Amino acid sequence: MDKKIDYLVVDTNSIMVITMDKKIDYLVVDTTAFIENAPLQNIAHNIVTIQEVVDEIINKRQLRRLVVLPYDLIVKDVFPENIRVITEFSQKTGDYPNLSATDIKVMALTYQLEKAEVGIEHLRKEPIVKSTINITTKPKEENIDLELNGFYMPKHSNTSTSDDSDDLKVELERLNLDHDQLEGNIIQNPISTANQDVSVNSENDLNDILPKHDDDDNSTETSDYDDEDDDAGWITPSNIKEIKKQINSNNVEEKCVKVACITTDFAMQNVLKQMNLNVSALDGRIIKELKTYILRCYTCFKTSSIMTQKFCPKCGNATLKRVSVSVDSNGKQKIHINSRRPLTARGKKFSLPTVHGGKHSNNPILSADQRLPDQKPTRLARTKNNPLGDDYIAGYSPFVMRDVNSKSAQLGIRNVKEVKHWMKKNPNEANRKRK
């Protein structure tokens, strides 16, 4: 049998060859790995990414690092059919609205390399739905319809309940009489019971009764406890590496793989792990549970599995919120609402702008069936005049005629999207406060 050599020293040149069996063959890299300057050469043999990830790096310091990488960075293109597979699968898991075009392409490249190197027989086509089992409470019995065709199911009579209630009244009256007699006996002789219960010998010394207390031992124990409390539990520069290893020891799963994707985006990790693709994380930042999301309206409590919807299909309001779902032991869907993210009044504090009509109105979209104007410029504004061109047809004037009189020209409507005055500074928009 052939055995691999871990360390090999060759004569005078002192060449050391180290074979790392746990290295990944192809590692698809997201932007976060380049931003944090991760040592990817120690993780994989081939570092692969897409052009959009490289374009996202705009910091000068990070660009200097990108120029002098200690490994060869391979930039590949993604096939459209792989992008389609990732898009459809992310819509099933409910993570599609939280993914950008670059994120989908990075996952599509991972799927493309996995398909070429390993195959797709082990990959899932449908996401896993989390199951929950309620142990504390018994499952509720379903109501059985009493009026079934061809069957007679008699109703329970009330005679037994009336008999039970009479017996209960008699028992309560007997207990009340016993209780009154017991109270009378206690009140007649209160002093005698007290003398019988409490008896103290006056000859005994007080020091013999009380337990001995050592002040010196107590002071030393308190000081030792204070010293231990001050030293333990704090994160210092000397023990931060050990604490990181302890935290990440349960999250790291080391195995020999051929293709993996390194990212810290939880939505990307959820889609990749749902498809049974390999995920590599920085500092152990990897998800522990796979989740499936749906939309739930917090006004009428209607649920929808179409994650691209903005308005509720029942009440029509823009009150849809993403929630995770699971299936219980009875096969029913259970919704998990995150109580740490309460509902806010964002977008409801200030009044909306006045609705304007006309051919070129630009009002905020408040419903799914709201009619929108075309916002097209006039035909005169769309004409192009190039007298020096090969296909130029001479008209009544070789000069350009500008449209300055129409309503669209006065409003400044071009082929690009128009920005109204109330869209430039929207009071309902959430802006980050400057520090």
Cβ within 8 Å of residue 71, ≥6 positions away = 40, 41, 47
Q: Which of 371, 281, 292, 363 is nearest to 324 (CA)?
A: 292
The residue type of 387 is P
Q: How many CB atoms lie within 10 A of CB 45?
A: 13
H or E element that contains 106: helix 101-117
CA distance 224 to 322: 51
Question: Would you say 261 is a known binding-site residue?
Answer: no
Per-residue tokens: 388: 């020096």
Helix (H, G, I), strand (E, B) or coil at 363: coil
Q: Which of 41, 45, 44 is nearest to 68 (CA)?
A: 41
State the number of CA atoms in the 13 A half-sphere of 169 facing the CB: 5
Question: Would you say 315 is a known binding-site residue?
Answer: yes
Question: Is the dihedral angle over the CA atoms 61, 63, 64, 69 positive or is it negative?
Answer: positive
Query: If you write DSSP's letter for every residue of 165-207 in order, what string do you get?
Result: HHHHHHHHHHHHHHHHHHHHHHHHSHHHHHHHH----TTS-HH
Rounded (5°) CA angle 379-384-388:
155
Q: What is the DSSP letter of 134?
A: -
Question: Would you say 256 is a known binding-site residue?
Answer: no
Cβ within 8 Å of residue 330, ≥6 positions away = 139
Q: Which residues pair with 321 in a beta bridge?
A: 296
Q: Which residues pair with 200 in a beta bridge?
A: none
Binding site feature residues:
297, 300, 312, 315
Binding site feature residues for Zn(2+):
297, 300, 312, 315
